[in-house]
Amino acid sequence: MGNRFEEMYKQKLASPEEVAKYVKSGFICACPTALGEPSSIIQAVGERAKKGEIENVYHHAILSVKPGSAFLDPELKGKYDYVSWFTSGPGRKAIQQGLYDYIPNHYSTMPLYWREVMPRLDVFYAEVSPMDKHGYFSFGMSGAEVPAMPERASIILLEVNKKMPRTFGNNLIHISEVTAVCESDRPLSELQNPPLSENDKKIGGMIAELVPDGATLQLGIGGIPNAVGILLKDKQDLGIHTEMFTDSMVDLLECGAVTNKRKPINKGKTIATLAWGTQKMYDYVDDNPAFEMHPVDYTNNPYIIGQHDNFISVNAAVEIDLFGQVCAESLGTKHYSGSGGQLDYVRGANLSKGGKGFIAMQSTAKDGAISKIKPTLTPGSIVTTGKNDVDYIVTENGVAQLKGKTAGERAKLLISLAAPQFREELTFEAKKMNLMV
């Protein structure tokens, strides 16, 4: 580390409490996705709000994964408020109760929103890896927001965590751009993979059979995508260009199934915009030049995705109707998550020569009491992927390609994917809707 950069670092180094003083009443603040949330700074901002030192501060976040974050404290409502761009466990209940709000968006458009749509960004704060000898910090496990948020922000505050992996790609920031830094040594939150159900394995197996050697992958989060990853270990020369990097992808890289050598762009590189998993994954990506983080308007750009032949996208759904409309973000009118990058990747796979976009789910909920394939979506449900974009639907009962099928053909195929006990009722409703005769 050069002396000049060391000196700059020392001049800007402060405690979390001192760093938090840069946040003033009425400020709009934002942080990177998931593990990029700077816990110590946010806690210190929350303490200031509790003391009445600040109010009307808004914290914008995508996939907040750290329980107990100060902006989720109901006692700080009106002082330090949460605005979600994609909702996960810690903030879901609060948003469903109407305590906080969210911004509908496709993940790929988030940088554009911060550059051109949002009124301003007063503070960008983030958790980063230690500074290198050239004066650069890596955003580690979050690349989606870079460089849009730092470029827009008036103040940049960094929490340097010794345990944050250093990753390559377009996700660096220089000490000269930073207002202040503090330090921490906190273990990263881990996402443990639950045991796979028999249906997860069955669905994953059907998808894996349709993945050719040399395909490039995007796998979502959850049991089914994990099952797909496990069942692809016998494939050859796969590539990864994904939104979220997961543990199952580490396994595919380590066993040699993924080489990235057939990719037309970023050849030899695994490309992602965020990563969240176990310590095994964090150790794998740390200082690994074959793994790169890039902004989400690159990773999720359908035209970039579509340049990869045989692109495979695997994502989940809450429910699907007989027209092929996919809801993946709400339970009726109740907000659950967000659009994320599902449609980005479905459209990218549609643009890919030989590409396949899979929407996968178990056919029932509540131990078989409710069909997730419905005549029409539950009233108030949000359409995440429209009928004109949907390609393959997969349940434990089979796989069906809807692309190029008539409305009536789609209805029949979807009914065949439903649990047997619901097929008669679905057929009756389809006839009432004039989808079948």
Tokens of 72: 């989720």
CA dist., res. 373 & res. 145, Å (int): 35
CA distances (Å), origin 225, targets 207, 281, 314: 9, 16, 6
Backbone angles phi, psi at 191, to 5 degrees: -110, 105
CA dist., res. 328 & res. 316, Å (int): 7
Altogether, the residues listed in the chain come to a count of 437
Task: Find the distance separating the first CA and the last CA of the chain, reported in whole Å.
Answer: 74
Contact (Cβ atoms closer than 8 angstroms) between residue 223 and residue 263? no
243 is catalytic: yes
Give the active site residue among 159, 243, 292, 396. Answer: 243
Dihedral Cα 415, 417, 423, 427, nearest 10 deg: 0
CA dist., res. 340 & res. 110, Å (int): 10
CA dist., res. 159 & res. 317, Å (int): 36
SS3 35: helix
CA distances (Å), origin 48, targets 21, 71, 326, 369, 419: 8, 12, 43, 48, 53
Of 240, 245, 234, whose CA–CA distance to 216 is shortest? Answer: 240
CA distances (Å), origin 211, targets 142, 188, 204, 228, 356: 28, 33, 11, 10, 9
Question: Which residues are designated catalytic?
Answer: 243
